[in-house]
């Protein structure tokens, strides 16, 4: 099976509470909190599409979209 390729992260800024779980636990340090304490994607090229951010986010605020 081919490795999934990142299309984009779908972020719901209204739902993100800036807890930092996705940021701290991303194995590739792809994410950071911005000045408003909302998640932002700073190193998309490093993303391995493991979806752990999506699965661990308690607020349904981040989704990983991959190429078909």
Partner 1 sequence: MAVKDYLRERFFPHLWCPGCGHGEVLGGMIRAIERLGLKKNDIVMVSGIGCSSRIVGYVDFHTLHTIHGRALAFATGVKLARPELTLIVPMGDGDALAIGGNHFIHAARRNIDITAIVMNNRIYGMTGGQFSPLSGINVSATTAPFKTIDKSFDIVELARAAGATFVARSTTYHAQHLSEVIEKAIRHKGFSVVEVLTQCPTYFGRKNRIGDAPEMVKWLKDHTTPVGSKAKQENPELIERGIFVDIEAPEYCEEYSKLVERARGGSR
Burial of 12 (0-12, 13-18, 19+ CB in 10 A): middle
Which among ligand SF4, partner 1, none contacts residue 42 (Cβ within 5 to 8 A by kind)?
none
48 binds partner 1 (CB under 8 A): no
Which of 14, 35 has the CB closer to partner 1? 14
CA dist 11 → 3, 38, 61 (Å): 22, 9, 6
Number of chain positions touching partner 1 (CB under 8 A):
17
- Catalog residues that contact partner 1 under the rule CB under 8 A: 14-15, 17-21, 23-25, 52, 55-60
């Amino acid at each position: 099976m081919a490795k999934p390729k990142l299309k984009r992260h779908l972020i719901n800024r209204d739902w993100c509470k800036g807890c930092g779980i996705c940021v701290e636990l991303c194995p590739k340090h792809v994410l950071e909190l911005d000045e408003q304490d909302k998640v932002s994607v700073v190193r998309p090229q490093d993303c391995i599409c493991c979806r752990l951010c999506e699965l661990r986010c308690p607020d349904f605020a981040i989704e990983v979209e991959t190429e078909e």
